[in-house]
Amino acid sequence: MLHLTAQPVPTESTLPYAEAVSRLASVRHALRLVEPFGAGPASDVSDDEAIAGAWDSAAEAKRQLFDRRSERMIGSAAAGIEALLIERQEGREPHAAASHALVEQIRRELRDVAAIVLR
């Protein structure tokens, strides 16, 4: 089973937005796993700096919504990517249209989740 987890923050002083930024970064990184199946990005735009700047002024309700939506996004992205990887491991070529649809859905969800804090 594929698990996407937040990457550890390298410093001891954890910034309040560090986990939030790490969640989105882990999904962008996992998205690159889809590339061999035809449609994965070489590099996706990162909202990390903008999220970091907006995090402190974001209302607690927005932060909680971000947490819930990003957890859901991570779960669905992991399930979709895992399905493609299983196809490959079992010697079947994943369907190109399915790979493309998955990539586009993950990109939309990344934008939508980032927008929660950035609005």
Q: State the chain's mean pLDDT as an integer.
A: 78
pTM of the complete model: 0.73
Closest CA to 112 of 79, 77, 78, 83: 77
Please say if the pLDDT value at position 110 is more than 80.
yes
Task: Supply angle C-alpha 73, 78, 82, rounded to 5.
Answer: 155
Q: Each residue of 3-48: pLDDT tens digit? A: 565 555 444 444 557 777 888 888 887 777 776 554 444 455 577 7
Average pLDDT of span 51-77: 89
In angstroms, rounded to a whole number, what is the distance separating the alpha carbons of residues 83 and 89? 10
Query: Which amino acid belongs to residue 66?
Result: F
In angstroms, rounded to a whole number, what is the distance separating the alpha carbons of residues 75 and 81? 10
In angstroms, rounded to a whole number, what is the distance separating the alpha carbons of residues 108 and 86? 24
Please say if the pLDDT value at position 98 is more than 80.
yes
